[in-house]
Structure 1
Amino acid sequence: MELKIGTMLILEPTYTERVEKFRCKVLEQKDGVIYIDYPVNTITKKTAFLIDGAQFRVTFNNEVKQSFAFNTEVLGRKAGNIPMIMLAYPQDEDVIKIQRREYVRVDTPVDIAVEYDGVFTQFIAADISAGGVLLNLREAVNFNDGDTVRLTIVLPYTSGEIRYVQTDALVVRIFERDERTFASMQFTDTDDLDKQYVVRFCFERQLQIRKKELNEIL
């Protein structure tokens, strides 16, 4: 996918404890490299000086307002009349189209511990998004629709890094489907950093699923 000159990019660091967003503009694209102007922090409005090797999740909109995302890292700088930063641009199959709804659910197993009324139970989620999870209930539970539970979510990334996200969640509905029982849960107090961890995990899994589908076609 060719990025047009002037396309606005939003950069979010993927390996940091801080939740930040930077805005920048595409000035040039050549041989798998994007050249951008120096990004500006969307909150402080200050110019950011990105270090080589720093990794980011990039989101942008095309001319018809479709949203896309990809992972990148800082490759270096290019001097000139306008100083530029060089970012790696992936192959087309690694650029993911973002669905328009607020949170994209990804069908992938995730280990989750549920605490309710002092009882801890281990489950596996059938899918996950930054807004909630669908738990596969393989045993009887002591919570019901409308209850609030405490979740500990294990997020293993492709790099080998593991993050543990803790959040309260509302039990929206317990139901049966295909002779199995599920609980739909909505996160209720996830902080911004933990939400970014979940978004990053979902994005990585989307990439894995897409690559697998492409390999099966080929």
Structure 2
Amino acid sequence: MFPKINDHVYIQIASEIEKENKQEYKSRIAEMEDDSILMEVPIPVEGGKMKKLYMGDELSMYFVNDEGVKHYFNTYVLGYKSDNIQLVRIRRPELDSITKVQRRNFLRVIAELEVAVRTEKNVRFIALTEDVGGGGISFYVDPTYKLNEEELLHCWVLLPYKNGTIEHVPIETEIVRMKKLETGRNLVMLKFRNIADIERQKLIRYCFERQFDFRNR
């Protein structure tokens, strides 16, 4: 079942920062469209200022039906609509993806992609990603490149689509965590600090193509 107009929904936003990842927000369904849902701008459950959402943000959501059962689904932000109040447009989930079991697997896919990296000190190198998503990426790097948490990196991710086209997506990122691997390499986990909406949509498109491939294996 889908949420209904005027139903309240509860939201968590994908983030590499644990504190942000656990923050819960609430909103209200305003309109239902064929392929999307419009909801009010969310606010923290505990109260506070409205939370600005960005195109491509990945959301884990639930609503409660008339019997008091929670129904969970994952989605992402498509854009906005200005009515009497501003509304947020999110992707309408497939009916069979709505579950009574909570799942926090945001739209991030395993993918070995080439990424060109430039540090703030103008050090440049090429790395391979472990995964990519609408809100962040992870890549492997040789430990000879000295990187630190909270450091800003400029990245260009190469995206090969199924139709044969290739896109280079520029992103300003921030290192949120690093992990030393048994192979000797470092796994660098990044969140997006600055990315154009059109570039984020290119990443989302690539992720959905990858998800479709996985489902059909």
Matched positions, count: 135
Equivalent residue runs for 1:90-109 within 5 Å: 101=104, 103-109=106-112
Report the 3-state secondary structure (helix = DSSP H, G, I; strand = E; otherwise coil) of the residue aligned with 1:146: coil
TM-score, length basis structure 2: 0.54
Query: Is 1:142–2:157 an aligned residue pair?
Result: no
Match of 2:170 in 1: 166
The residue identity in structure 2 corresponding to 1:60 is R
The CA deviation at 1:62 is 5.7
Match of 2:113 in 1: 110
Output one character per residue of 1:147-168: Cα deviation in whole Å (capped at 9) or x when no partner.
1010011111000111111111
Report the 3-state secondary structure (helix = DSSP H, G, I; strand = E; otherwise coil) of the residue aligned with 1:152: strand
Change (3 A) 1:162 1:183: same
Quick one: which of 199, 203, 212 aligns to 1:207? Answer: 212
Query: Is 1:156–2:199 an aligned residue pair?
Result: no
Change (3 A) 1:63 1:137: closer
Q: Name structure 2 gaps, 5 residues minimum.
A: 1-31, 37-54, 56-78, 84-89
Task: Please give the root-mean-square deviation of Cα atoms over the aligned residues, in Å.
Answer: 3.0
Change (3 A) 1:118 1:102: same
The CA deviation at 1:139 is 4.8
The residue identity in structure 1 corresponding to 2:35 is I
Query: Is 1:193–2:198 an aligned residue pair?
Result: yes
Match of 1:9 in 2: 34
The residue identity in structure 1 corresponding to 2:115 is I
Match of 2:81 in 1: 43
The CA deviation at 1:144 is 1.3
The residue identity in structure 2 corresponding to 1:118 is N
Distance 1:63 1:129 in 2: 23
Change (3 A) 1:62 1:151: closer
The CA deviation at 1:169 is 0.4
The CA deviation at 1:118 is 1.2
Change (3 A) 1:9 1:102: farther
Q: Name structure 1 gaps, 5 residues minimum.
A: 1-6, 12-18, 20-40, 46-57, 68-98, 213-218
The CA deviation at 1:207 is 1.0
Report the 3-state secondary structure (helix = DSSP H, G, I; strand = E; otherwise coil) of the residue aligned with 1:188: strand
Match of 2:50 in 1: none
TM-score, length basis structure 1: 0.54
Report the 3-state secondary structure (helix = DSSP H, G, I; strand = E; otherwise coil) of the residue aligned with 1:122: strand
Report the 3-state secondary structure (helix = DSSP H, G, I; strand = E; otherwise coil) of the residue aligned with 1:150: strand
Quick one: which of 92, 104, 107 aligns to 1:60? Answer: 92
Query: Is 1:124–2:128 an aligned residue pair?
Result: yes
CA contact (8 A) 1:126 1:134 kept: yes
The CA deviation at 1:177 is 3.3
